Every structure is written in structure tokens, then in C-alpha cells.
Structure 1
Amino acid sequence: MIGTSETTGEVTVRFQHSDDIWRDFPALVPFALHVEGVGPGVSVDDQVARYCDLAARRAAPESELPEIQAWRRAFTRMGLKPTQYRCASESLLRRFRKEGALPRLHPLIDLCNAVSIAFAVPVAVFDVAYVSGPLEVRYATGEETYLTFSGETEHPAAEEVIFADAEGRAHARRWTNRQSGLSAVRDTTADVLIVAEALHESARADVERLATALYDELTALWPVSPKSEILTASAPRFDF
């Protein structure tokens, strides 16, 4: 929902997971962060190198990491082949293992991708200007639209887990598998919602560490004041 505060006149947007998602995936630990003022004019080389080094120190391949194994089980439950459709952090880890580096796209995306592989947790970044709230992680009806990075329009299948806004636009397909080109970060982006989600046994502690790391990096790189929260089934809503 997009609404206006009667006291401040500020516009608020809501992010949450549906009750069905919490019911079917009770181990879920999501983190949401909203930040304004994240332009492209900074260098994140040192930060990216540090988090990539942390990822490289993991002795086990990505398929043996508990963080990735939990997402593979979730994808199997969704009726997807986990080796055909991989969560975003697994895809990045596989690419990093093969190439020794990550693609460089935008300072914010580069930072979030590096944090993602360091923690083996999917991290999504949405340009809020292209989202009509509320943004909800829920099962698709089959009527939603999804814009690919190549400009094609797809319709997620019914019961597929998507990030859906109020206009029925899917901003991510197959949950943490693939984001939409519509709300992708670009050089003109200034206002973003960052979402990290984990399902493994130590998810709460790991997501708390990820949240602290990301908050510290953002405030050190940009003159910003992020708002963030770790969500739960009893407090599933993030207003910003």
C-alpha cells in the first residue's frame, strides 16, 4: 500500500511476505532495508575485494553450504529443479568460483553482490521508483507480468513465488532466482529497497551479521541514513 502520513505528509510503502509464504516456509528470516541517495559516483573496490576474499575462504563448494542447501530444498518444494533454477547467491558463487571475480554493474549492486557471496545469502535490490506498493512476496495467480532484461514480457505461472506489486507486476520470479529488468538499479537510481532472505538453521544470526555489515558499508560510502528491519511471522511488515 502507498499511503500518506497525516502528521508528516510523507509517502509510505509496505514490503512483506504473505501469510502463505510464512506458513509454508516457517524457517524464513528476511531482512529489508530502505535507503535514499545511493548514486553511482563512489568506488567500492576495497569493499568488494574484502567480501570476495571472505567468499573465497570457504573450503566447501557452494552446493555443500547449508545456506545454499536450504534454498535448494525450498526450490524443490516449489516444484523446481534446484540445479536448473538456482537462488541468486548460488548463481553468483558459481560464477565467482569459475571466474574468480564478479561482474561490475553499479557500485550498489557490486557491493550487494559481494556481500551476498560472502554470506551465501540472496540479496535483491529494487529501484523504488518503479515499484507500485505494496511489494509482497507471494504466490502468483498467473495474471502478473514480468519484464525481462531483454525487454520481453513474461507471465509467471500460477503458484510461482514472486515479488509482486499493487499493479500485478512481478519484480522477481521464482522467489530468489531472477529479478526483473523493470526495477533494476541504473545510474539514475537514488531510492532503493534491499531485501535479503535466508532459510538455514543459523539464519537469524547470519542475517543479523549481514544486516550490520550492509548498514555499515552504506553509511560509510554514501551520506545516507538507511532504515532497516529483520522481519518475522509475527511482525512481517516493513514500512518505509
Structure 2
Amino acid sequence: MRFQHAAQLRADFPELVAGVVAATGTTPDADTTDAVARHTATATARLATVATPSGFAEVQAWRRAFTRLGLRPTQYRCASEALLRRFAREGALPRIHPLVDLCNAVSLATALPVAVLDLDRVTGDLVVRRATGQEVYLGFDGATEHPQPGEVTYADDAGRAHARRWTNRQSGHSAVRDATSCVLIVVEGLHATALADVTAATTLIAEELAAHWSLDPISAVLHGDGPTALDLRSAITAR
């Protein structure tokens, strides 16, 4: 099992940097409350420096990418912008699972989209690529959809789409649940300082997994001038 971005997608977006963290052993009883509070405090301080979340360079880069993909960025927002807008409006995010809560808080603090997937619900390799239109996506409401041909998705070897519109919406099929143990976390950035920022976020997430679940995750930062894929087998066979 490997995670990577398709070569054509990397050619279309050479500025792309992705941080990948994988581990086995997460449980729903970890207490990430203090860490969530710490990262949301960072988000609050950063939000005070902009008029809206769209003022962040990280978000602006995703808006430009969505426009290049033929999407209206005010209709379809990257996950971090959607979280930031909700947090700015409501002052908090709903609690879902300690790992999801933690990664959402890191997303708020960094303005970077952070995907969290249950690896046991992924078949074979996971490739971020343009859809053929045949992939199957399961929404959180239980409805089945098919990404539009050319839409960027996370596709596995079984033809499942684990995301819609790249960083816009994850799949309910591979969402983290209480029974989830083996996880894949992906942070993606396209802005000018993405390499430094994604690297820092990747390190932070790996450290949080070690601190709260006593895990030793595998991780990598994937980019055009470095590695572009991560073999996930060592994280899976750890269980």
C-alpha cells in the first residue's frame, strides 16, 4: 500500500507539498482537550490578523487551485477554509473523535487542509488523481455519488473515491470511527512557504500521535524535489 499524487497532478501543480503521517494504535479514549485548546488559541490569534480566512496565503493558494480546476472557490472551499469560517462564526468546532478533533485544531492553526482516513477502509494504493467518473464516493449522509470526470479525488484500487474536489470534502466510507486503529493523515499546501509550513505541521501531528497514543508513526513530506510517495506497509503491519 502506497500513498502518492499522480504524476500528471504534480505536473499541473508543481508547487504542491504533502505531509503524510500513518500509524496503528489510535483509540477513542485519548484526551486531546489541552492540545486542541492550544492549537485553537493559535488559530484565534491568527484570525485576528485578517479580515476573513480568505486572507491567509494558505487559503488563497487553494482558491487559485480550485479556480484552475474549474471550481468556484466561494462555492467549494478547501477544508481548512471551511473549518476556519465555522470556527470564526461559532467560536468552537463540534467534538467528533479525539484524533479528528486534534487534526481539525491543527488545520485551524495552520490554515492547511488536514485529511484523516481510516486505512482499514482503503483498498490497496491511495492515489490523489483526476477522476474518471466511475469512482464511488460515499457521503456522510449515506448517499452514493460519482466524482465528475477530471475532478481531483483520493482514489484507491477498489475504485472508491475518498474525497470530493481534492480538499473540499472527505468520504464517509473512510471516516475515523471509535473502532478505527490504523490511520492515514495528509496535510497539503500550495502556497509559497508550503514546504516549511507543511513540514512543521507534519512533525507536529507525528509528535501529537506519540504524546497522546504512545505511537511511533511513519511520516514523510512529499514534494517535487524530494520523495513523491510513501510506502504505508510498515504502519499497517505494526498492528
Settle same-fold status: TM greater than 0.5.
yes
1:82 maps to 73
Distance 2:196 2:4 in 1: 20
1:42 CA drift (Å): 1.1
Kindly indicate whether residue 118 of structure 2 is the aligned counterpart of residue 98 of structure 1. Answer: no
- Opposite residue 165 of structure 1, the aligned amino acid is D
Q: Structure 2: which 5+ runs fail to align?
A: 233-239
1:172 maps to 163
1:99 CA drift (Å): 0.4
SS of residue in 1 equivalent to 2:201: helix
**Counterpart among 226, 231, 235 of residue 239 in structure 1:** 231
Contact kept in structure 1, 2:21 and 2:205, CA below 8 Å: no
Distance 2:199 2:151 in 1: 28
**Counterpart among 112, 127, 141 of residue 118 in structure 2:** 127
Kindly indicate whether residue 34 of structure 2 is the aligned counterpart of residue 42 of structure 1. Answer: no
1:214 CA drift (Å): 1.0
1:213 CA drift (Å): 1.2
Identity among equivalent pairs (%):
56
Kindly indicate whether residue 18 of structure 2 is the aligned counterpart of residue 18 of structure 1. Answer: no
Kindly indicate whether residue 19 of structure 2 is the aligned counterpart of residue 31 of structure 1. Answer: yes
1:10 maps to none
- Opposite residue 119 of structure 1, the aligned amino acid is T
Instruction: Between 208-217 and 118-127, report the one with greater CA deviation.
Output: 208-217
- Opposite residue 95 of structure 1, the aligned amino acid is R
TM-score normalised according to structure 1 size: 0.94
Kindly indicate whether residue 107 of structure 2 is the aligned counterpart of residue 116 of structure 1. Answer: yes
Kindly indicate whether residue 116 of structure 2 is the aligned counterpart of residue 138 of structure 1. Answer: no
1:200 maps to 191
1:212 CA drift (Å): 1.6
SS of residue in 2 equivalent to 1:136: strand
1:8 maps to none
Q: Structure 1: which 5+ runs fail to align?
A: 1-12
Give runs of aligned pairs for residues 204-219 of structure 1, distance below 5 A. Answer: 204-219=195-210
SS of residue in 1 equivalent to 2:223: coil
**Counterpart among 48, 53, 56 of residue 44 in structure 2:** 56
Distance 1:145 1:53 in 2: 38
1:235 CA drift (Å): 2.2
Contact kept in structure 1, 2:21 and 2:218, CA below 8 Å: yes
Instruction: Between 185-194 and 54-63, report the one with greater CA deviation.
Output: 54-63
**Residues paired across the two proteins, number:** 228
SS of residue in 2 equivalent to 1:137: strand
- Opposite residue 68 of structure 1, the aligned amino acid is V
1:153 maps to 144
1:183 maps to 174
SS of residue in 1 equivalent to 2:84: helix
SS of residue in 1 equivalent to 2:162: strand
1:217 CA drift (Å): 1.1
Distance 1:168 1:70 in 2: 29
- Opposite residue 15 of structure 1, the aligned amino acid is F
SS of residue in 1 equivalent to 2:43: helix
1:229 maps to 220
TM-score normalised according to structure 2 size: 0.94
2:235 maps to none
1:43 CA drift (Å): 0.9
1:7 maps to none
